[in-house]
Structure 1
Amino acid sequence: MPERLTNWAGNIEFGARRLHRPGTLDELREVVTGSERLRVLGSGHSFNRLADTDGDLISLAGLPRTVEIAADAATVKIDGGMRYGELAAHLAGAGLAVHNMASLPHISVAGAVATATHGSGVRNGNLATAVAGLEILRADGSVTTLDRSDPDLAGAVVGLGALGVVTALTLDVMPAFELRQYVYDDLPEAALHEHLDEILSAGYSVSLFTRWSSPGIDQVWLKRAEPMTGDFFGARPADGPRHPVPGMPTENCTEQGGTPGPWHTRLPHFRMEFTPSSGEELQSEWHLPRSAALAAIEAVSGLRDRVAAVLQVCEIRTIAADELWLSPNHERDSLALHFTWIADTGAVLPVVADLEKALTPLGARPHWGKIFTAAPSELRAAYPRFADFAALTTRFDPKGAFRNPWLDALLA
């Protein structure tokens, strides 16, 4: 492959022989049927070797954009290369919305869905829960279409790219809505321990940001329709715009201060108009039962000094339970602990291992696209439907064309 290709963060250099950028579905089918080993690259926002291959790497970004809103305006069908920011613009123009978005609208829909990337909110399922149907191009060139009448859909949605190329997705949509975004500084530790559930339930989406350099929470980001006044459980209203990472440009963040605005300009933390750099960061994330939320926070607090030494910021948020087989939120309301690390793999990995040792007994499941050290056997044991998923991958891809060493170890 003539170009050096890395993921967004630059910590992974892909080993593919070739990178393909098909411009049509026919070109895509030709690449797929002509390759013995291949993987699909989304927007490159995974931090491990999930998307890597020693065969052919495919980007769907060049496929024709497809946005087909159903006659009843309950669903939209989109192509497999679309990003959330593009989707949001189309839906907003039609007076529609998706129920949830990730912090960064630049990520691809298919990639986010395949790894159960989530957004936030005690009543909001992760992004994958909006999927009402998939079209999957398989290694032999055939296309399988799944909808909610097919029991395979719950296994295929969070599919890790192991079944084939997702060429189209059908998503649930809803009427467009407005939200306000408020930021509060310095939530006291006592409030965190005494009112955690109330705090996390106080908005449509709530994020708590901490650098673990002190016992309290540095910033609370609250997204809700209703106006707010005064303090928030002892935290003070921010006196101006904030960025989750102190010192970073606040103009990259979505509007704060309680000004109402369209859903797609408030749910993400970052604006679509700014171009994220190839980040000087690494990321890890663990999802735990919400019933273990305080215990999980206390476990991280016990490693405060080690964590803070290699951390840029940690985000704490919630996700509602779902029935998707490989979703970290499978059958349980969840608390997510998201860590944005400094860009130093050697310094970060020992801390990741320490966190896993502390959080695994509480039921932690790592985000599929982030950095973790858990053994494949531990991952398999964390998912009640994992054996069913492994069987599904064999049925859809009997020759293992969409496998790589990372998946080979997981599915062994």
Structure 2
Amino acid sequence: MTETNWAGNLTYAASALRTPRTVDELAAIVAAEPHVRGLGSRHSFNRIADTTGVQVSVAGLPALVEVDDSAREVTVSAGLRYGELVEELDRAGWALHNLASLPHISVAGAIATGTHGSGDHNGSLASSVAGLELVTADGSLLTVRRGDPDFDGMVVSLGCLGIVTKVTLDIVPTFDVRQDVYEGVSWESIADHLDAITSSAYSVSMFTDWGDAGAGQAWLKSRADVTPPATFFGATPASRELHPLPDESAEFTTSQLGAPGVWWDRLPHFRLGFTPSNGQELQSEYLVPRFDAAAAIDAVRSLAPVIRPHLFVSELRTIAADSLWLSPSHGVDCLAIHFTWRMHVPEVTALLPALDDALAPFAARPHWGKVFQSDRERLGAAYPRIDEFRSLADRLDPTGTFANEQTSEWLGR
């Protein structure tokens, strides 16, 4: 059966999709096949999960959620989706520090691509990884922990080092969150007060279509015991629940208007019970250093005439620095500039080089799971430890079992 990604913009070239039920079965597949790629929840918009060989899904491995209260860690099966983890974790009195916009993505896939939530002091989802178990190219099982040699190179791995079977994550005590939305943040306010805007809540997202009005909405996710501001840098509190797209129903967005709720039902933008429909969108995202945020926003605004006809909405949010080699927030606090495109594949593909050119002066780092067009030289400048990662991949996977056309284009292996 021909498989596609979630968006439907790609048909995979894999010869087969295997769903092993045990780690031993997975190891046998990896050892026997010349080319293997892991396939998560299919939310990547490029060919990072593709192969001319065999795709494997670890969603069929035994489900695991094992909390270690004393270590403040949880070990989970890699194929678990965040939405399958969060309620069980909360019942045990614990939480994750951050979640992405959708809770429907797999743990291993999100980590491997550097997927993130938001917040000035919140690192990406990968930054909470304390340990990994993976099947390497010869079928052997490798376990690594934070602090081990090369660990920082093994977390955001692009699927190039092996098939991850278990992940150990840092956890924090459970907490409640309120969400307040404000309408109408001007570009002038963003330029003059960006740091104050993004530090005004646990997590802040601004949504824009790059028109002259600025950000039509700002979503503030705050600890439930924090009182939000009455006004917000010239914006006014929303009087009704909103969707990031002004004309869409807010039926499936997480509750707003200050109603407190558990962390996993407020940190994402969309409800756990909401099943996203397949596709009809593309996504791109670049992370730029915070000190270049204003200039990067101006650079994108200069492209507004070519961006807007193909755009649903853009999101601006911040992510804290981490130490992971291929993380888009490696070594520097970042502003993420996200684009949710209409399914205008030829037109979006044609404008991506101009977007990459506009953000190149800021050593912008593309999200590995989204659509972008860059070259190896720019990626090397943006990710200063990419050569070390390439050497690590050569050592763990000398025959290129886990390489594919996409990762070879990016890494040169």
TM bucket, shorter chain = over 0.9
Larger mean Cα displacement after TM superposition, 226-235 or 160-169: 226-235
| Cα distance between partner residues in 2 of 1:189 and 1:337 | 15
State the 1:410 CA deviation. Answer: 2.4
Change (3 A) 1:124 1:342: same
Alignment of 1:397-412 (within 5 A): 397-412=397-412
Instruction: For residues 333-367 of structure 1, give each alpha carbon's deviation from its aligned partner in whole angstroms, at most 9, with x where no partner exists.
Output: 10000000000111112222211111111221111
Report the residue type matching 1:326 in the other structure: L
Q: What corresponds to 1:92 in structure 2?
A: 90
| Cα distance between partner residues in 2 of 1:186 and 1:215 | 7
Q: What corresponds to 2:173 in structure 1?
A: 175
Instruction: For residues 64-105 of structure 1, give each alpha carbon's deviation from its aligned partner in whole angstroms, at most 9, with x where no partner exists.
Output: 111111141510111110111111111111010011100000
State the 1:248 CA deviation. Answer: 2.2
State the 1:139 CA deviation. Answer: 1.9
Q: What corresponds to 2:275 in structure 1?
A: 275
Alignment of 1:96-115 (within 5 A): 96-115=94-113
Change (3 A) 1:12 1:349: same
State the 1:411 CA deviation. Answer: 2.5
* 3-state SS in 2 of match to 1:31: helix
Calculate the aligned-residue CA RMSD, in Å.
1.1
State the 1:228 CA deviation. Answer: 2.0
| Cα distance between partner residues in 2 of 1:284 and 1:145 | 33
State the 1:10 CA deviation. Answer: 0.6
* 3-state SS in 1 of match to 2:264: helix
* 3-state SS in 2 of match to 1:359: helix
Matched, 1:146 2:144: yes
State the 1:214 CA deviation. Answer: 2.5
Instruction: For residues 278-300 of structure 1, give each alpha carbon's deviation from its aligned partner in whole angstroms, at most 9, with x where no partner exists.
Output: 11100000000000111111111
Contact persistence 2:360–2:378 (CA under 8 A): no
Report the residue type matching 1:284 in the other structure: S
| Cα distance between partner residues in 2 of 1:242 and 1:351 | 29
Report the residue type matching 2:146 in the other structure: R
Match of 2:159 among 158, 161, 174: 161
Q: What corresponds to 2:395 in structure 1?
A: 395
| Cα distance between partner residues in 1 of 2:410 and 2:197 | 37
Q: What corresponds to 2:123 in structure 1?
A: 125
| Cα distance between partner residues in 1 of 2:19 and 2:377 | 35
Count of residue correspondences: 410
| Cα distance between partner residues in 1 of 2:393 and 2:71 | 32
Instruction: For residues 368-392 of structure 1, give each alpha carbon's deviation from its aligned partner in whole angstroms, at most 9, with x where no partner exists.
Output: 1111110123212321111110111
Q: What corresponds to 2:220 in structure 1?
A: 222
Report the residue type matching 2:251 in the other structure: E
Matched, 1:81 2:79: yes
Instruction: For residues 17-72 of structure 1, give each alpha carbon's deviation from its aligned partner in whole angstroms, at most 9, with x where no partner exists.
Output: 00111122222122212211010001111111111001001111111111111141
State the 1:242 CA deviation. Answer: 0.6
Contact persistence 2:299–2:359 (CA under 8 A): yes
| Cα distance between partner residues in 2 of 1:156 and 1:395 | 12
| Cα distance between partner residues in 2 of 1:81 and 1:316 | 29
| Cα distance between partner residues in 1 of 2:12 and 2:148 | 35
Matched, 1:381 2:389: no
| Cα distance between partner residues in 2 of 1:140 and 1:157 | 19
Q: What corresponds to 1:23 in structure 2?
A: 21
* 3-state SS in 2 of match to 1:252: coil
* 3-state SS in 1 of match to 2:3: coil
Which runs of 4 or more aligned residues in structure 1 lie more than 4 Å from their structure 2 counterparts after TM superposition?
none
Q: What corresponds to 2:193 in structure 1?
A: 195
Instruction: For residues 242-282 of structure 1, give each alpha carbon's deviation from its aligned partner in whole angstroms, at most 9, with x where no partner exists.
Output: 11112223111000000111110110000110110111100
Q: What corresponds to 1:295 in structure 2?
A: 295
| Cα distance between partner residues in 2 of 1:230 and 1:407 | 48
| Cα distance between partner residues in 2 of 1:190 and 1:149 | 44
* 3-state SS in 1 of match to 2:60: coil
Larger mean Cα displacement after TM superposition, 47-56 or 379-388: 379-388
TM-score by length of 1: 0.98
* 3-state SS in 1 of match to 2:318: strand
Change (3 A) 1:71 1:301: closer
Report the residue type matching 1:258 in the other structure: G
Matched, 1:256 2:281: no
Matched, 1:204 2:172: no
Contact persistence 1:146–1:152 (CA under 8 A): no
Matched, 1:309 2:316: no
Contact persistence 2:290–2:335 (CA under 8 A): yes
Larger mean Cα displacement after TM superposition, 70-79 or 80-89: 70-79
State the 1:398 CA deviation. Answer: 1.1
Instruction: For residues 198-224 of structure 1, give each alpha carbon's deviation from its aligned partner in whole angstroms, at most 9, with x where no partner exists.
Output: 001101000000011223110000001
Report the residue type matching 1:251 in the other structure: E
State the 1:229 CA deviation. Answer: 4.8
Contact persistence 1:180–1:227 (CA under 8 A): no
Contact persistence 1:285–1:337 (CA under 8 A): yes
* 3-state SS in 1 of match to 2:251: helix
Q: What corresponds to 1:55 in structure 2?
A: 53
